[in-house]
Structure 1
């Protein structure tokens, strides 16, 4: 929740392109995917298309068909969790009832905010607002302690901004005023539907945007937040309470956690050190307006169909999507996001085979063994660092396909039907309150390292969690072009093999290298080893920094962790693939190029360049291949070819 996980990028995919060696010598990505890119069409309701997106679209169609049969009663859900998902989906899809209710379900909450007369009133509502979906300037939540990952601890984070990143607020940023205009237009429509007169709504938005700018001036950028160890800033409850003179933040966390927390980890101290400049006795009106906008924006997707469409205008402007989801798809995704592990479990158990799971698990262990050999034979790590790295590798927990158990939280999501007076908004608000309270209650529990937290089995992605030292490969990504029993071993290693090794590599990237085998953050590297490692990662930063795409440039520091993982992952997968008698380097690299195929709107590409810790897909495909000597041999790449990179400039870390 508060400490973002390191994940594989959501971008890429298959193509049926011309794969001529001559084209690949100049541009691997275009040589493999060029024909597809010429004809591919981005769906109006999506910002991108390509392998990752295509797999997700196919899963979407499959699940909507299956769940459609459950909605119309022709098929019965096979367990109580799935039955509650279907009941929630029915409420989401009943647009007649939603339109008839209008904004009435959220008005009592808005009235509660409107009745606030000062910070003393707000103090009494801080915890309830956090549970009721209003949002909070002082977001708190429970997550593992970075230095004691067996136990949970309270974290405090800074508020989300309207614009995607603090860099958008810099003078001269051309996108910012256009985006704020879209945001203002969207919120004016929603506030009008909520019953606010135009003049009042205008004032509310003026004040909200003014407060948001103050937040941005004192928050970390995406680049700064990508340095995970620097998020660890422990404070006592009393120390945390000193950040504000108009609100008692110590009382706030004690109320929320019933006095069970003894410290707070502040992920963005830059913000909290400036709270007294941001939230003052003189600007309560701005705070109140911010709460109103937050509440209306959060509720809109569960109200009328018109509100659902309007509430997506800003995100569509950010991503470049041309249209909102149609009503049925909108209802499906709203229900899916509420019951994601239930839906994912259904998908994986029905469509992911045990044979494929066993085969992929074998690949995982092969990758681990390759990495272990590399670490053992490493010529720049000292013996003590090398041994501890192998211990971390031996302790790594792989998860493939789907988890053995689903979080018990989902059993608490019992839907109150329309027949019993339940509305979509009421159920969503109640489930949000349950989830928040459940998270607060985790303060008393030991961390369960076997529980999947960040991705469900129907998500086309993968991740490594440094706080648990686990890698997770959901069933959804274990399909062609990443993996198929029908593909050659070389193709599979160039696809899912590289993804598996990528996630393993995160245990030793610039962030993961600072956490031990149990996910605890401490310095286990010899000083000289760490110094050399930083030199290598700086080379990776330099290799990508300033590369141009979509009218913008890559920030090498923002994407360094993922690039280090790509480099280690691709090189280790290549080494494993070469162990097979029928190894084909061309098949390996061609499939590596295929999995990153993506066609996206310019807006979406520019957004990712600003906030995503992954490099653009095309650059991931090309630059990492350029770093490997075997690529040059496979395609007879020579100086003067577009893919040529001088040997001394090729970056090798793992």
Structure 2
């Protein structure tokens, strides 16, 4: 498991109000926009706004999200093989289609050289698509691992198997990874993270609400069926033991709010002292199996979990642990096994937990497999075909404009002292933007891919990834390394490298439109850039300096003021109701909400600066400011199944898309001016209660 600090517009991006006075301002779209194709094309080339999505029965002052996206929301059905749809998800589908074309073209090429990147892409895809071969093999691809588990004679060997299982991509209650040391960004360190649960979060094991009780019952039934399909003995009894053991592990887990606290999760231990923390864990065997036994220290992210896990390890018989590890192996590789196991895996994790009606076509999942295992191989071709050099140049300009605007915003902060401003601007100046694709590509020469060995391909790829990580220990920091492929529709901020990263695939409409006016691009990709910069100054990112080291660069008074403003944002988002019985978790989503608020605030400032004092032209009946805010509103267009939404609210540090739009804009005075938002309007917040951080 490789823990990557991914922020902002993330893979789990998800994603009301009453009308008031009718004399308030309303954005006007030309009446002809709805019917004439030529005009629609012209609009796409000028404003970059899709007027067909608007719901003009909603006042923008009451629910700007519904105003900009409401008709689309009403008329759009979520495809059966997905749990969500919208701006991000549609782009992901396009990226997958683009990658599919690359893969199929490679696969159709005769006489590929053995060991070449092309052979690996073609044969990996074939190994996933050959369901006849997978059905013939049954559980044979994992039988060797099941035999190893069955042969374990004691708990010391069990702990060593935990390490082995992770190295091949299987399940484990202890997640080992190598990443930059948060307090010494010049070196890589080893880390241990809590792991081992099949359900989304610890609360799923303890919540007595009917929904959670039903999920646990379905989980037990699912395990029993999986054991039966695999021909494993004692299926019903095994399922009950597995739930009981995972419940015990979950009881020691930190919750999702605690685990995002960079301060709490940094606990540097000497390896020699690990037995004091957990005396019954075979640390020597564990680290030796991982190839990390020469390290003097290790960062334990959740020490109390390790202490508690030690108790769970001792309290349960070896036979129960062997059953659990059999399950972990079976469930982690289920999608790469026979169609009956793959289907049952879908029925629980996708259909029951997330409401997905239909399984994705095999080819879509095959493309995902290639992206996961050989992502930068196809990424090279992807950027040649789908990313223009002028797009990278324009993005570089936007990033620098946002950086300049951020600097001016810091200078103008009334609540921050001069000393802290100096440190903040130093960090800002050291942001390292990465745009489109890596300057140096990953090498897959050591990876063996076979057309008839899907599970083996996955295991070998996982082992190679682990081997590459081990090579980092004692070596210089890999400044060139990316944690997303170019074909990923996402972006991230990495605090220990102080870098903001924008893969090629997100640099498309509605986020980034080379044919559109600047206003909508600043409202779209500009807000995304600002969001990622904002992660450098959110409640966790602000703990890191410009060199990527976690240290206190704040004055005591400034830190108190910063925390108070964060608390106000927590309270605001806690008040947003997702369902009648479920609100947004303001503490869990605080970092992303700061990113959203600072992102759109700084993007607006950068847009105004880009005009050089001139008035923006009116395009398609809209002022520049109106186009900016609409550009921001339309990037959050999304629909999601209720089951998936409930899971995301419980586990995802991002607020639902609707509240990402409404929450940020409700704090911006410029939005109030642009749309004449007044007291009594549903989006109105009293000036003294509006949150301004950056």
Normalising by the residue count of structure 1, what TM-score does the alignment of the two structures yield? 0.94
Query: Within 5 Å, which residues of 2 pair with 1:559-638?
Result: 559-579=589-609, 580=611, 581-583=614-616, 584-638=624-678
Is the contact between residue 69 and residue 75 of structure 1 (CA under 8 Å) also seen in structure 2?
no
Q: 1:63 aligns with which of 99, 112, 120?
A: 99
Find 1:122's aligned residue among 138, 158, 163. 158
Distance in 2 of aligned mates of 1:521 and 1:232: 10
Name which of structure 1's ranges 543-552 and 168-177 shifts more when overlaid on structure 2. Answer: 168-177
Distance 1:315 1:22 in 2: 37
Asked whether 1:521 is paired with 2:561, we answer no
Structure 2 equivalent of residue 362 of structure 1: 397
Structure 2 portions without partners, runs of 5+: 16-48, 617-623
Cα deviation 1:139-170 (Å, max 9, x = unaligned): 21211111111211110111232221122233
Higher mean Cα deviation, 562-571 or 247-256? 247-256
Q: Deviations for 1:208-227, whole angstroms, at most 9, x for unmatched residues?
A: 11111111111111111121
Provide the TM-score with structure 2 as the length reference. Answer: 0.89
Shift of 1:125: 3.5
Q: Aligned in 2, Cα 1:370/1:594: closer, same or farther, shift over 3 Å? A: same
1:432 aligns with 2:462: yes
Q: Does 1:649 align with 2:678?
A: no
1:487 aligned partner: 516
Worse-superposed segment, 172-181 or 364-373? 172-181
User: Structure 2: how far apart are the matches of 1:125 and 1:609?
Assistant: 34
Structure 1 residues 339, 179: CA separation in 2 closer, same or farther (over 3 Å shift)? farther
C-alpha separation between the residues in 1 aligned to 2:358 and 2:53? 28
Distance, in Å, in 1 between the alignment partners of 2:114 and 2:505 is 21
CA distance in 2, matches of 1:60, 1:556: 33
Shift of 1:82: 4.0
Aligned counterparts, 1:412-427, within 5 A: 412-418=446-452, 423-427=453-457
What SS class does the counterpart of residue 53 from structure 2 fall into?
coil
8 Å CA contact retained: 1:17, 1:35: yes
2:134 maps to 1:98: yes
User: Aligned pair 1:264/2:264, yes or no?
Assistant: no
The answer as to 2:301 corresponding to 1:284 is no
Q: How far is 1:281 from its partner?
A: 5.4
In structure 2, the residue corresponding to 1:57 is in which secondary structure?
Answer: helix
- The offset of 1:119, in angstroms, is 1.3
| Shift, 1:78, TM fit | 14
**Aligned mates of 2:211, 2:476 — CA distance in 1:** 45
SS at match of 1:516: coil
RMSD, matched Cα: 2.2
Q: Match of 1:8?
A: 9
Cα drift, residue 19 of structure 1: 5.7
For residues 42-191 of structure 1, the aligned pairs below 5 Å read: 42-73=78-109, 80-191=116-227
Q: 1:184 to 1:590 in 2, by over 3 A?
A: same
Secondary structure (helix, strand or coil) at the match of 1:213 reads: helix
1:496 to 525, 538, 547: 525
Deviation at 1:591, TM superposition (A): 1.3
The answer to whether 1:231 aligns with 2:257 is: no
Q: Is the 8 A contact 1:21 1:635 kept in 2?
A: no
2:379 is aligned to: 344
Q: Is this contact kept in 1: 2:205–2:212, CA < 8 A?
A: yes
Cα displacement string for residues 211-269 of structure 1 (whole angstroms, at most 9, x for unaligned residues): 11111111111111121222101111122233434332244224423532111111111
Within a 5 Å distance, the mapping from 1:248-263 to structure 2 comes to 248-263=282-297
**8 Å contact kept, 1:254–1:261:** no
Q: Distance in 1 between matches of 2:59 and 2:159?
A: 64
Cα distance, 1:176 vs structure 2 = 2.1
The residue that corresponds to 1:293 in the other structure is 327
Is 2:54–2:67's contact at 8 Å kept on the other side of the alignment? yes
Structure 1: tracts of 5 or more residues without a match: none
The secondary structure found in structure 2 opposite 1:141 is strand
What is the match of residue 413 of structure 2?
Answer: 378
Which residue is equivalent to 1:405? 440
What is the CA–CA distance in structure 2 between the aligned matches of 1:157 and 1:150, rounded to whole Å? 21
Matched residues, number? 646
CA distance in 2, matches of 1:164, 1:303: 23
Partners of 1:575 and 1:123 lie apart in 2 by: 54
CA distance in 1, matches of 2:80, 2:689: 41
Cα distance in 2, alignment partners of residues 175 and 445 from structure 1: 49
Of 70-79 and 547-556, more deviation after overlay is shown by: 70-79
Q: 2:316, 2:664 → 1: CA distance?
A: 53
Which residue number corresponds to residue 444 of structure 1? 474
Q: Distance in 2 between matches of 1:651 and 1:402?
A: 35
* Contact map agreement 1:5 1:466 (CA 8 A) in 2: no
User: How far is the alpha carbon of 1:417 from its aligned partner?
Assistant: 4.1
Matches of 1:446 and 1:209 in 2, distance apart?
Answer: 43
**1:274 counterpart (279, 285, 308):** 308
More displaced 10-residue stretch of structure 1: 123-132 or 621-630: 123-132
Closer, same or farther: CA 114–31 of 1 in aligned 2, 3 Å: same
Report the alpha carbon displacement of residue 623 of structure 1 after superposing the two structures with TM.
1.7
CA distance in 2, matches of 1:139, 1:619: 33
Q: 1:336-378: per-residue Cα shift (whole Å, max 9, x none)?
A: 2212232333222210100111001100000001111122232
Structure 2: distance between partners of 1:328 and 1:124: 36
Change (3 A) 1:417 1:48: closer
Please say if 1:211 is aligned against 2:251: no
> Which of 61, 66, 73 is 1:30 aligned to?
66
CA positional deviation for 1:492? 0.5
Tell me the CA shift for residue 589 of structure 1: 0.8
What's 2:368 paired with?
333
- Secondary structure at the aligned position of 1:373 is classed as helix
Counterpart residue number, 1:39:
75
